[in-house]
């Protein structure tokens, strides 16, 4: 990291000399295997507010991969050793960070994804929606709330999804944001599926206006610079497109000053960010963006029957109503949500242009339950701030204990979950009545 024209965070000048001596350029397809690894030859440059990032890049004969103007000011680029050296001493440059590999957050081990047609002429009440009682919400018109899915894109013609626009951060053509992986479409369906035909599946915030922000490629991998681009686009369009909720079911081990600053500014612009905790069975404090103080970080539970009481059959991850064995945990987690064997929308193909469906597991699936609940709350409380939304969701959540079902003041049965390793337990998100 180069900051304020000084070198810090990587061993000072020794690191700079070694980096310049060993630097090789990468292509967009040269993604490294491990999330959090540095991308050789690729950097994120932050310029101070008084200067135009495009002009700074041009002055160094740099062709930006992405320009940032809303959440941060700067650009991402592949740099030669000479360009890196001259930018490091340019007084207009505040910070240079190495670009990193970022991935969506599947469970440890083989992916547990079952892709299927949905031939039923009725709407399936999924276990996740049932467990948080989202189906009990009044059919509030959530279409006033824009929900950005910062992910692999969204299958734009899926019959269950209200996809209104998108942006591609992974290549030169910004209009190519259609989902070529499936993960982003699955996340989108959990948050906001349903177009009024009473078929397919229902999300927590039915018919929420979905924005596909493509920051991961068909393999589910991407760059930190692409994620920053996504946050920047969401922030720039928070007002004009009424994007008020964003979901990031992605991450990497470590942290980034640039991404942290971008998220903070996005939250200040009125965007509530729900983020997957990660699936390493570790403390979420070591993973970004889960460790950002301004996001709602979400861990996962397993629920087989959509009911409290731990009386359902076992899930693919273990007993009913238990903390997911793969889920990250820790004091930074605000909420838990269903994240095991979740049925949702999936990308289509030439034979199924209207989309498919899939069952998948991960904190990737837990986070959009919270994003949808945030959209529901925002639709009924237009003046709510991101902090107010987070506090309202936490306050309405169901305590982990007792696991047994107990009736609340309205007679609705509520209950928690168990086997959470966290000493500071988080509540289960509860969407009913939002």
Question: Among the options 60, 183, 273, 292, which is catalytic?
Answer: 183
Write the CB contacts of 258 (distance below 8 Å, at least 6 apart in sequence).
44, 46, 72, 74, 95, 97, 224, 228
User: What would you measure as the largest C-alpha separation in the chain, in angstroms?
Assistant: 69
Helix (H, G, I), strand (E, B) or coil at 55: helix
Angstrom CA distances, 112 to 104, 106, 108, 109, 366, stand at 14, 9, 10, 9, 15
Which pLDDT score, from 0 to 100, does residue 27 have?
Answer: 34
Residues with pLDDT less than 50, the chain: 4-33, 108-111
> What domains, with CATH codes, occur in the chain?
2-100 (3.30.70), 114-414 (3.40.50.200)
pTM of the model as a whole: 0.92
For helices 386-396 and 363-380, give the axis angle rounded to 10 degrees: 110
8 A C-beta contact, residue 230 and residue 167: yes
Nearest CA among 113, 197, 187, 118 for reference residue 151: 187
Query: Residue 176: what pLDDT?
Result: 97
364 among known catalytic residues:
yes
Q: Say if CB 134 and CB 190 are below 8 A apart.
A: no
pLDDT tens by residue, 20-58: 333 333 333 343 346 678 999 999 999 999 999 999 999
Q: Looking at 94, 99, 133, 151, which residue is catalytic?
A: 151
At residue 43, the 3 state secondary structure works out as strand
Q: State how far the Cα of 140 lies from the Cα of 375, in Å rounded to an integer.
A: 10
Ramachandran sector of residue 389 (left: φ over 0; alpha: ψ -120 to 50; beta: rest): alpha
Q: What is the pLDDT of residue 121?
A: 57
Q: Which residue reads 């009044």 in tokens? A: 138
Provide the pLDDT for residue 198: 72
Residues of 240-252 as b/e, b for ≥16 C-beta within 10 angstroms? ebebbbbbbbbbb
Write out the H or E segment, with its range, that includes residue 274.
strand 272-276
pLDDT the model gives residue 141: 79
| End-to-end CA gap in the chain | 43
Asked whether 249 and 187 are in contact (CB, 8 A), the reply is: yes
Amino acid 112: pLDDT: 59
Q: Residue 118: what pLDDT?
A: 62
Question: Among 249, 327, 364, 367, which one carries the catalytic annotation?
Answer: 364
What does the chain come to in residues? 434
pLDDT reported for residue 139: 66
Q: Measured between alpha carbons, how far is 156 from 200 in angstroms, rounded to an integer?
A: 16
C-alpha–C-alpha distance, residues 152 and 343, integer Å: 18
Angle, alpha carbons 333-275-188 (nearest 5°) = 135
> Which residue do the tokens 């269950």 mark?
160
């Amino acid at each position: 990291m180069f900051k304020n024209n000084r070198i810090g965070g990587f061993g000072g000048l020794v690191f700079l000399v070694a980096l310049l001596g060993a630097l090789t350029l990468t292509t967009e397809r040269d993604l490294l295997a491990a999330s959090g690894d540095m991308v050789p030859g690729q950097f994120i440059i932050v310029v101070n507010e008084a200067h135009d990032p495009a002009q700074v890049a041009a002055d160094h004969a740099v062709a930006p991969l992405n320009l940032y103007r809303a959440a941060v000011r700067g650009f991402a680029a592949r740099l030669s050793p000479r360009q890196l050296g001259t930018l490091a001493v340019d007084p207009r440059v505040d910070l240079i960070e190495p670009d990193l590999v970022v991935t969506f957050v599947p469970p440890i081990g083989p992916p547990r994804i079952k892709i299927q047609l949905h031939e039923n002429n009725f709407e399936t009440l999924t276990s996740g929606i049932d467990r948080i009682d989202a189906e009990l919400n009044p059919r509030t018109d959530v279409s006033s709330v824009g929900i950005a899915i910062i992910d692999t894109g969204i299958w734009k013609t899926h019959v269950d999804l209200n996809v209104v626009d998108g942006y591609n951060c992974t290549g030169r053509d910004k209009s190519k944001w259609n989902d070529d992986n499936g993960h982003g479409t699955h996340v989108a369906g959990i948050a906001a599926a349903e177009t009024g035909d009473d078929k397919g599946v229902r999300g927590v915030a039915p018919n929420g206006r979905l924005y596909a922000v493509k920051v991961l490629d068909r393999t589910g991998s991407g760059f930190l610079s692409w994620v920053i681009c996504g946050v920047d686009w969401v922030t720039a369009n928070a007002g004009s497109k009424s994007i008020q909720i964003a979901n990031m079911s992605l991450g990497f081990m470590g942290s980034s000053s640039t991404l942290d600053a971008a998220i903070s500014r996005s939250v200040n612009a009125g965007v509530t960010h729900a983020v997957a905790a990660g699936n390493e069975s570790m403390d979420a404090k070591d993973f970004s963006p889960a460790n950002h103080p301004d996001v709602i970080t979400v861990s996962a539970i397993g629920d087989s029957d959509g009911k409290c009481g731990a009386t359902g059959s076992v899930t693919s991850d273990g007993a009913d109503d238990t903390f997911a064995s793969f889920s990250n945990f820790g004091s930074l987690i605000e909420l838990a949500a269903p994240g095991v064997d979740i049925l949702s929308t999936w990308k289509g193909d030439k034979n199924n242009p209207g989309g498919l469906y899939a069952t998948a597991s991960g904190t990737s699936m837990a986070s959009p339950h919270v994003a949808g609940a945030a959209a529901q709350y925002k639709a009924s409380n237009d003046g709510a701030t991101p902090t107010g939304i987070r506090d309202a969701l936490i306050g309405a959540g169901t305590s982990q204990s007792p696991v047994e079902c107990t009736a609340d003041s309205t007679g609705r049965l509520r209950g928690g979950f168990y086997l959470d390793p966290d000493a500071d337990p988080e509540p289960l998100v509860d969407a009913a009545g939002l």
